[in-house]
């Protein structure tokens, strides 16, 4: 009644295959590129800033105004005390007109 090393080899082989399969299944679909670029060269996709580097209270007041007029918008935090107000590019001109009033 000795210990059979083939059982240990099979167990190690099965665990190794499960580890490789889980690494393949759970790997990220896109490479990690770090934090997106900020500033004027930032790629915001379909969004355009209509109010930049403003304090939180001013951005929230502008967001409420635009939301009341039916313009979808969102707030983006740039740093500790600075925010951007973003709208879709098709609504940018109308949003700027409303904010200038």
- pLDDT tens across the length of the chain (101 residues): 567 888 999 999 999 999 999 998 988 777 767 666 666 666 778 888 898 888 999 999 999 999 999 999 999 887 788 898 999 999 999 999 998 98
The pLDDT score that the predictor gives to residue 82 is 86
Burial class (CB in 10 A: 0-12, 13-18, 19+), 50: buried
The pLDDT score that the predictor gives to residue 3 is 76
76: which strand partners? Answer: 84
The pLDDT score that the predictor gives to residue 23 is 92
List the structure tokens of 48: 């355009």
The pLDDT score that the predictor gives to residue 65 is 94
List the structure tokens of 69: 């007029």
The pLDDT score that the predictor gives to residue 45 is 80
Give SS3 for 48. strand
Position of tokens 């690494």?
Answer: 23
Q: What is the DSSP letter of 86?
A: E
Sequence-ordered strand ranges (E) for the chain: 47-54, 73-77, 83-88
Position of tokens 């951005």?
Answer: 59
The pLDDT score that the predictor gives to residue 35 is 60
């Amino acid at each position: 009644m000795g210990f059979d090393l083939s059982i240990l080899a099979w167990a190690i082989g099965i665990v190794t295959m499960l580890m490789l399969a889980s690494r393949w299944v759970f790997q990220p679909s896109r490479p990690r590129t770090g934090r997106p670029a900020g500033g004027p060269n930032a790629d915001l996709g379909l969004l355009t800033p209509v109010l930049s580097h403003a304090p939180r209270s001013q951005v929230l007041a502008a967001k409420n105004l635009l939301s009341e007029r039916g313009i979808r918008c969102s707030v983006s935090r740039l740093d500790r005390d600075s925010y951007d107000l973003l709208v879709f590019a098709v609504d940018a001109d109308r949003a700027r007109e409303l904010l200038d009033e």
